[in-house]
Structure 1
Amino acid sequence: VPSRALAMKRVKGVFARKSPGPSTPKFAEQLWDKYKDPKNAESIGPEGVEAFCADIGLEPSDVHILVLAWRLDASRMGYFTHVEWTNGFAKLSASSLPELKAWLERTYQETLHGAKAMHSGADAFRNFYAFAHRYCRDDNKRNLDCETACAMMSMMVSPLYPKHVEQFTAYLMKMNRQHGINQDEWMCFWELCRSVKDDCSNYADDGAWPILLDEYVEFVQQQAKGK
């Protein structure tokens, strides 16, 4: 039966693909020694990150580099400490740069899939999204500047909720909001994307949302009336 033969072929293909094993301390240290700051042996700085990105075939601004920072629990944008690097790599499944690149893609896709499925798997994306706010804001600042926030939303949320991101970033740019977006506003936008229609027709103005999102909904509704 053709369908049975096709199914068996797919099963064989799955087992034929060898999954990479856990990342080894040796692999992590080899990378560390190559990319660490020559003036600070306990840190990989921007130049090292750029060199790493070039070798793995990704731009520093690529979402997969943000995934790496998230899974290494990095505390400062553009930098990795030795502790973050060694502890983080112990949890990865890669022993070469091609395997690491594949692992980053797989992790990203699994995180997106969980968010799209709207089940408990969405928690992973929520954690990823929350991390981005902490990671991308300037040192000692509580808010993320609007320009960076728009870029991060476009990178992270557009694959899931493109219309809300398009409308919200347009609104932020029109407002020219000088003090940026705080963590609560950032996270509430994610919840709004998950629960409110693109035209905001089912938005409940019950005081539970930050004022920023009340004003965003008003903006969307006014835009609709103006068409």
Structure 2
Amino acid sequence: MRRSASRKTGQSNSTDSPDLFRSASGKASLKEMERIDNLFYTYANKSSGVIDPEGIEALCSDMEVNHTDVRVLMLAWKMKAEKQGLLYPGHKKKFGYLFEFFVLEEWQRGLKSLRADNVNKLKKALPELEKEVKRPSNFMDFYSYAFRYCLTEEKQKSVDIESVCELLDLVLGSQCRAQVDYFIEYLKVQTDYKVINMDQWMGFFRFCNEISFPDFNNYDPKLAWPLILDNFVDWMKEKQA
């Protein structure tokens, strides 16, 4: 009996073809990216082509998230958004409002990674994003990113005390409540520093993770701590005395 020509040894059914699968997968990926792009332009400023603070507020409203929520900053971290950007004319800088500016490439990178091509999926992705950021392997990078993101001017290397206090509370307050509260109190009453630089910012993070608080038993001022932390410890000991 003659075998059917379609059943030759080693020949696959057309529905199982790897090329067909890759083609279908590629089309699905393109459709997903198209939806991500469409979502971007829903919130983007038509004249500038970027999502500006008004667009961020609209997005947050649709996600039912306050625009000062730390998860908005986490979203910027996930997108690898470069910085807040120079404020548009008429926008007064106030840290209570996270003045994000998302460009399309950043938006695509973040939402594709989160597998979110609509607002509902993005909202549902936020709890997992928060868990991702709070992993020790990621949190230091996020903490550093939060400071860099506030450097809105070219060649700017420091952030004013008022903004630093807001940022510390937002980024680190839930993990190191006591240290953050006392350090903010100190920053507000001291007169030696008007700005904080990256070395001081990261030094405080290390301080929170390594130093026994509030007894400071393992704090050695002879080690390479930023001077502002030596002053903070002295101030705390005077309060305790």
Q: TM class by shorter-chain length? A: 0.7 to 0.9
SS in 1 for 2:158: coil
TM-score (normalizing by structure 1): 0.80
Q: Does 1:171 align with 2:186?
A: yes
TM-superposed deviation, 1:223: 0.9
Shift of 1:176: 4.4
Task: Determine if the alignment matches structure 1 residue 38 to structure 2 residue 39.
Answer: no
1:129 maps to amino acid = Y
Rounded Cα–Cα distance in structure 1 between residues aligned with 2:45 and 2:117? 22
Q: What number of residue pairs does the alignment pair up? A: 195
Q: CA deviation at 1:178?
A: 5.1
Structure number with larger C-alpha Rg: 2
Could you tell me which runs of 5 or more consecutive residues in structure 2 were left unpaired when the two chains were aligned. Answer: 1-28, 85-99
The 5 Å alignment of 1:24-63 reads 24-41=32-49, 43-63=50-70
CA contact under 8 A between 2:32 and 2:117: conserved in structure 1?
Answer: yes
* One-letter code aligned to 1:72: M
Structure 2 residue matching 1:181: 3-state secondary structure: strand
Indicate conservation of the 8 Å contact 1:143/1:181, yes or no: yes
Where do 1:206-217 residues align within 5 Å?
A: 206-217=222-233
1:93 aligns with 2:107: no
Determine which of 221, 224, 230 is the counterpart of 1:205: 221
SS at match of 2:143: helix
Q: 2: CA distance between counterparts of 1:129 and 1:70?
A: 10
Mapped to 2, the partners of 1:31 and 1:177 lie a distance apart of: 47
- Provide structure 1 residue ranges, at least 5 long, that are not aligned to the other structure: 1-21, 115-121
Contact in 2 for aligned 1:137/1:145 (Cα 8 Å) = no
Conserved? CA contact 2:111–2:122, under 8 Å: no
CA RMSD of aligned residues (A): 1.8
Structure 1 stretches of at least 4 aligned residues deviating more than 3 Å after TM superposition: 176-179
TM-score, normalized by length of structure 2? 0.76
179-188 or 200-209, which deviates more: 200-209
C-alpha contact 1:73 1:84 (8 A) present in aligned 2: yes
**1:182 to 1:68, Cα distance in 2 relative to 1, 3 A:** same
CA offset digits 1:59-78 (Å, max 9, x no partner): 21111100100000112222
